[in-house]
Amino acid sequence: MNKNKVNSILDLFEAEYGEAECTLDYVNPLHLMIATQLAAQCTDARVNMVTPALYARYSTAEDFMNADREVLEGLIRSTGFFRNKAKNIIGCCTMLVKDFNNEIPQNMNDLLKLPGVGRKTANLVLGDAFNIPGIVIDTHAGRLARRLGFTKETDPAKVEKDLMELIPEDKWIILGHWFVAHGRAVCNSRTPKCESCSFAPLCDYYKAI
């Protein structure tokens, strides 16, 4: 993909979605990390319904470390896969307390040591909590990156690598939020609204249909 097309797409994203933000509710890096883990195979809207009661009961890593597993599972049940998520949350917070002095690591290598934390969660926490550049690759990002012609890869790590080579670093954080906003509003998986999409003239997917 040539630079002119990349810049044109980024300009359109900025015009359409401006300062798009994370749609998960949180007040600190720990809460963002927990919410992102809960959002796996679940909508952000559902997670935002669950987290107020969750954070009222558990506000610190120590609170989560010492949580009763069954009580925690009950609080997060509606997010799906609640048993595995509860196990990972307790394990993650135990490691934060014992190995990281109750602090969320601010680097990818240490974040990936935490149970339940993959590159998507790590990049979201680094970007939104600490303003450290990274590109979040979720289902929206992967789908839009392929449709727009940024990549042909399906593996999230390879999609991330391709985007990092194409996109200026100062756009990495916001790009993930732009992908989510456009993926939800227009470019959904099954019935994208191509006829009304401002990206259509630049979109490989649209040209092929």
- For the chain, the domains span 3-21+135-208, 29-130
Q: What is the mean pLDDT of the chain?
A: 97
How confident is the model at residue 169, as a pLDDT? 98
CATH of domain 29-130: 1.10.340.30
Quote the tokens at residue 75: 């609080």
| pLDDT, average across residues 139-167 | 97
Residue 113 annotated as catalytic: no
Q: CB neighbours (10 Å) of residue 104?
A: 21
pLDDT of 209 over the 90 cut: no
| pLDDT, average across residues 35-46 | 96
183: closest CA among 137, 151, 152?
Answer: 137
* Residue found under tokens 């290598």: 109
| Residues 6 or more apart in contact with residue 23 via CB below 8 angstroms | 44, 45, 48, 180
Residue 120 annotated as catalytic: yes
How confident is the model at residue 1, as a pLDDT? 81
| pLDDT, average across residues 97-122 | 97
Q: Where are the alpha helices (DSSP H) in 39-171?
A: 44-57, 61-65, 69-76, 82-99, 108-111, 119-124, 130, 139-148, 156-166
The catalytic position among 85, 120, 128, 162 is 120
| Residues 6 or more apart in contact with residue 5 via CB below 8 angstroms | 149, 202
How confident is the model at residue 131, as a pLDDT? 97
Class of 3-21+135-208 in CATH: mainly alpha
The catalytic position among 85, 128, 138, 162 is 138
- The model's pLDDT over 115-131, given as tens digits with 9 standing for 90+, comes to 999 999 999 999 999 99
